[in-house]
Amino acid sequence: MTGSDIELRCHTEGVPKPIITWKQGGEVVNSSSHVTHYFGGGHIVIHNAQVEADSGSFTCSAHNQAGTTEKTVSVSVVPPTNPAYKSSMKETGTFMVFNDKGIQSYDPLHCLLKHQIRGDFGNFKFIPDALDGPLTLCRSGQDCEWGSAVMVGSNYIYASQPDQNRVVIVETGTSWSPVQVIDTDKKPMQMWYVKHLDQVWVLCANQEDSQGGKTIVVIRDASQHIQHRAVHTRPVGNHFDTVQDVFIAKPNDLEHEFDFGYVTHRDQNGLFKLNLEDMSYTKSIDLSNYGCVPTYLDFVPIGGHVLIQCVSSVDHHTLQLTMDYLTDTVISTVSLSGRPMTSPDSRHLVTVDDSTGKVTVSSVSDEGIMETTYEVTVSARISDVTFVPANSHHGYDLVLTSADDDDVILMNLVTGKVEKITGTQFTDPSALRHPSSVHRLIVPSDTMNNYLMTPSKSTLAILDIKFKVVECEFTDTVGSSVMLYTPSSKTS
């Protein structure tokens, strides 16, 4: 709109860090009183925009030793009375929530409930061959039960239903409706999407408690509009049911593709390396010399390392092992409690001790050298942790929810500064619900937005990280245990 400020964002990552240049109609856009550059040029703000001067194509160009990449956006500046003004308003993505009643989708920009799918939904596009009765989203007369959910491509969400031993596929963007169900082993819980192989990996608990043997099933060609089925990985020693946990690399901004994952097996002090493409075990990695059992790990794209949380079964002392991803050789050990996590740009490593609230932060150089920079204690106990795009520097910051009170905590990964976002009320005085790693989830939006969703006391809260305020609250959302964000095609 004429006279307003226009903000253009360009998110780039690379090694070494790319140099960003903005151009308008082929001419370089330099910093001036009319245009302000932020974060090394990644964000620019055009002040007091005018129809003729600021309308046109803007190109973000990122360059380093590996090459140059560009992306162009079209900007139209119109008077507020122009009919095109309303149609050109900002768009954002959608938060999807899987709760007791079904599936809801929320618009964070306008604080609206966009779509609602109830548990008795039955209009599926693909119908399984063998059915005991009518196919519905959830069991008749019962609350819906959800394990986890992942975004698959740009058109689908896969969500696991432990009580029905299956995964349901939801179509996004147009109908926002379930299209088919895929039978799995008993109690499917965690899921991962491997984009470059177009696979969804599912870890099934098989029993009510966590002591029984788990199994892995894989859904191939996951983003294709076809009838799907799940297949097993190749067993070790002819046994499917010895799996304890699975570790597969999360998506990263560098788009580095990891072709291998790792599996832990019950009562074994080691890891099994897993070839994701042919779903077979390639080797075993013995960690018995370190006297501990691997309980969590994460991948570091820059440098090609794997960080392993390894806990002694005798005295529960915790080590953090650094392993070379290619050779599977442990190259360093340190006494450090907590889960290791890598930021999406691979520039920061954080180790979060849920029980004490201590966060240890390390930086990663272009050469992959990891160096601890500081430690800070943010709360008595931590419920959930995630990375969010930073608003005061290039890269990411950390957001944590407290397991002891209502706090949502924002931590600057460069300076270590800790701030609290107030206004959410999660603690339930009736003692019917308590904050925990299961209930107090936090789900961020994408790199082009500043939103964050978390459960509040009998509500869902959407927070604006940039202004550190509660933007929206939605009531009647009990049992919102699974959430994710789907980006808008116009902002991705």
DSSP sequence for 21-86: EEEETTEE----SSEEEEGGGTEEEE-S--HHHH-EEEEEEEEETTEEEEEEEEE----TTSTHHH
Instruction: Look at residue 84 in the predicted model and tell me its pLDDT.
Output: 57
CATH (domain of 38): 2.60.40.10
**Would you say residue 300 has pLDDT above 90?**
yes
Q: Would you place residue 438 in the very low, low, confident or very high pLDDT band (cuts 50, 70, 90)?
A: very low
Establish how many alpha carbons lie within 13 A of residue 280's alpha carbon, considering only the half-sphere containing its beta carbon: 2
Strands of the sheet with 6-9, listed across from one edge: 6-9, 43-46, 35-38
Which of these ranges, 46-55, 56-65, 292-301, 477-486, has the smallest mean pLDDT? 477-486
Tokens representing residue 206 in the block: 């098989």
Q: Which two tokens stand for residue 169?
A: 């596929």
Q: How far apart are CA 448 and CA 91, in angstroms?
A: 11
Q: In whole angstroms, give the CA distance from residue 49 to residue 218.
A: 51
Residue 214 phi, psi (nearest 5): -100, 160
Bond before 18 cis per omega within 30 degrees:
no
Residue 273, phi-psi category: left (phi > 0), alpha (psi -120 to 50), beta (remainder): beta
| 371-396 pLDDT, tens digit each | 999 999 997 789 899 999 998 888 99
H or E segment and range at residue 257: none
Q: Report yes or no on 24 lying in a domain.
A: yes
Q: pLDDT at position 479, please?
A: 74
pLDDT exceeds 60 at position 87? no
Q: What counts of helices (H) and strands (E) characterise the chain?
A: 2, 39
Q: Is residue 16 part of a domain?
A: yes
Question: Is residue 355 domain-resident?
Answer: no
CB-based burial, 35-72: b 16+ in 10 Å, e otherwise: bebbbebbbbebeebeeeebeeebbbbbeeeeeeeeee
The answer as to whether 117 is a domain residue is no
**Is residue 45 in some structural domain?**
yes
Is position 318 within any domain?
no
**pLDDT tens string 140-172:** 999 999 999 999 999 999 999 999 999 999 999
In a domain, 271, yes or no: no
Decide: 167 and 145 in contact? Cβ < 8 Å: no
Contacts of 428 (CB under 8 A, 6+ apart): 434, 457, 458
- Reported residue count of the chain is 492
DSSP 395: S
Give dist(CA 341, CA 382) in Å, integer: 14
Boundaries of domain holding 81: 6-87
Classify residue 34: in a domain, yes or no: yes
Residue-level pLDDT at 434:
38
Q: Binning pLDDT at 50, 70 and 90, where does residue 9 land?
A: confident
And the tokens for 480?
């919102």
- Residues 120-146 pLDDT 10s: 999 999 988 878 788 999 999 999 999
Residue position matching structure tokens 């009319």:
34
At residue 429, the pLDDT reads: 41
Q: What is the pLDDT of residue 432?
A: 38
Q: CB–CB of 92/109 below 8 Å?
A: yes
With a CB cutoff of 8 Å and minimum separation 6, the contacts of 61 are 20, 21, 22, 23, 68, 69, 70
pLDDT value of position 220: 97
Beta-bridge partner residues of 20: 62
Residue 160: name the closest of 105, 98, 229 by CA: 98
pTM for this entry: 0.87
* pLDDT score for 128: 85
CA–CA dist 341, 295 (Å, integer):
13
Instruction: Domain count for the chain, please give it.
Output: 1
Residues 415, 431 contacting (CB under 8 angstroms): no
